Chain A
Amino acid sequence: MIRNWRQFQDASIHRFFQFNGVLSILILLGIFFILFKDGLPALQQLGVGTFIQMIWNPTSFVQETYGMGAMIISTLMVTFLALLIAVPVGLGCAAYLSEVAPNWVREILKPVIEILAGIPSVVLGFLGIVIIGPWIARVFHLPNGLNALNGAILLAVMSLPTIISISEDAISSVPRAYKEASLALGASKWQTLIRVIVPSALSGIIASVMLGMGRAIGETMTVLMATGNALKTPTHILEAVRTMTATIAIELGEVPFGSEHYHGLFVIGFVLFVMTFLVNLVADIVLAKYQEVER
């Protein structure tokens, strides 16, 4: 009897922890479901076609438009510009950390990267306004420096720690034998790094770039504060742009609950969720593949 009670108790505790384990799946599905449910009324009333136009202007007096084209282009433009800065610097830093840096430099650089990852995005956005903005305005002779370039510089800073730490992992887990074989054949350390180590670590490096991209697409405060938020299709990196995240952040506070506009913002959220989900999923698959190869 007592034995059975003990077994029962232990089994219930097992179930309790299992439920908590499954909670992550439920939350992910919950986010997907709620964004979809709250976006659906807008899709039904306005039609899917409305959302694939260019211009977003739900508060226009003449003709309300819900086109997401311009803001998706803005998001991608700022993201790719950010990666253009962050990928070379990040990979260089990662290669330096794992192959070149003496120990004492590593002891400094590692915590620096961790601290950089911890700086709140709103603080970076603030610096975008007070430092990078005036600097861009001066260099390019513009009335103000709040534009796509400014946001991209800040996003680069934000995605650097992700890119560095994951690609450094990838580079330093390349088997020693590869490196030694290459050196033994008379290749210099540099040739070994470029032609042997980096190609072997490539899938991990790609995953790091994808994860950095996911961060950049979803980042809100820095782009909200630094990109100028103009509602139009961007044609130039020195123009003010408004990203998907910034649009939600600006408008959700002002819309009446339950209006078409309110539900329209959930459509943006849903598309954003799906975009980052796919980017992260690809990173995940690439990373799993490389861990398999490692084994």
Chain B
Amino acid sequence: MINKSVTEKIGFAVLAFCGLLVVLTLFGILWDIGYNGAAVLSWEFLTQPPREGMTLGGIFPALLGTLLVSLITVLFSVPLGMFSAIYLNEYARQGRLVRMIRLSIRNLSGVPSIVYGLFGVALFVRIFYFGASILSAGLTLGLLTLPWTITASEEALKTVPKSYRDGSLALGATKWQAIRTNVLPYAIPGMLSGAILGLARAAGETAPILFTGAAFFIPDLPRTLLDQFMALPYHLYILSTQHQDIATVRPIAYGTALVLIALVLCLNMVAVLIRYHYRKKARMAQ
């Protein structure tokens, strides 16, 4: 009997250690990047372009490029994801087609990001002739985030009670009128939070933009959507592996990593807050 409880204590301690390890990993990452990155962080770092072969100055063009590309990504993937989710949740009946669609969505979310990059090069850069540009990279990332925006939008639609639709249909509204007036307004916050999560994902991705538009260094800011751009994750990759003087630019690399992590985490946080806020409101309304 003593043996049994000793085994249990040891077993649970091992499990707790696994949990602790995960927490320590995250805090280790955040501490190292935060501590070393904060040393170079300044207003100038965020608002100035790199100077002297990227050994001095800031990361403004990379920050701007990442924001622009993420914007294209969201503009492309959120409407498509919304429409797709509306079909799956409001119109579709269970059957082979829906099963096929769901299978495709799950598999798309498992396609490696570099494969999206290859696809983007072949389709957007070559066939559509957009060249290596903000547009090509944004569309490629849009495809990558699509499975996530569909899933998030569907979750949002699912939270709207069935009675909202029935009430509207009973008053003689068509299906679309019911969706537009009695479903979408309540699902929009949830969809918005999904869109922001997609934005966060897109902002941190590197592999899909390597060949679809990200550039090593561009002195001028992009003027049109067909220009190449600098991006935060690509900039970090360059500074830590491709630069001729890696030791000198290490602090700048840390700063870039910190800004990238902060951007991604802030977006995640905003998404969670929106979801939380509206869920509370929805619960109170019911």
Contact = CB atoms under 8 A, between A and B. Distances in A.
Indicate the member of A97, A191, A215, A273 with the most B CB atoms within 10 Å.
Answer: A273
Interface residues of B, number: 83
A120 B233 CA distance: 8
A127 to B, nearest CB: 6
Given A120-B204, A277-B107, A281-B107, A31 B115 contact: yes
A214 B143 CA distance: 18
11 contacts: A21-B92, A27-B108, A30-B123, A35-B119, A89-B22, A115-B26, A119-B29, A127-B32, A189-B8, A215-B110, A217-B112
Nearest to A258: B126
B156 to A, nearest CB: 16
Interface string A74-92: 0000000000000011111
A127 B101 contact: no
B240 interface: yes
Contacts of B126: 257
A92 B118 contact: no
**Mostly helix, strand, loop or mixed at chain A's interface?**
helix
A214 B110 contact: yes
Contacts of B14: 92
Interface of B is mostly: helix
Interface residues of A, number: 90
A114 to B, nearest CB: 8
Nearest to B33: A123
Nearest to B237: A122
Contacts of B104: 24-25, 27-28
Contacts of B240: 125-126, 129-130, 225
B35 to A, nearest CB: 12
Contacts of A90: 18
Interface string B91-110: 11000011011011111101
Contacts of A88: 18
Given A34-B122, A89-B21, 20 more contacts: A17-B84, A24-B147, A30-B123, A35-B115, A38-B118, A88-B18, A93-B19, A96-B15, A116-B26, A120-B261, A120-B264, A122-B237, A123-B33, A126-B240, A160-B22, A190-B4, A191-B4, A218-B115, A272-B114, A277-B107
Interface in B63-81: 80
Contact of A125 (B100, B103, B200, B237): B237
A17 B210 contact: no
B248 to A, nearest CB: 14
A116 B114 contact: no
Given A27-B146, A96-B15, A218 B112 contact: yes
Given A126-B236, A276-B112, A277-B107, A252 B118 contact: yes
A201 to B, nearest CB: 15
Contact of B4 (A37, A127, A188): A188
A100 interface: yes
A230 interface: no
Given A217-B112, A265-B118, A21 B204 contact: no
Nearest to A13: B176
Interface string A3-32: 000100110011011101111110110110
Interface string B239-253: 011000000001001
B260 interface: yes
A95 interface: yes
A118 B268 contact: yes
Given A28-B104, A248-B114, A266-B118, A164 B22 contact: yes
A57 to B, nearest CB: 20
Contacts of A115: 26, 265, 268
Contacts of A89: 18, 21-22
Given A92-B17, A218-B110, A252-B121, A122 B206 contact: yes
A13 B175 CA distance: 9
A20 B15 contact: no
A200 interface: no
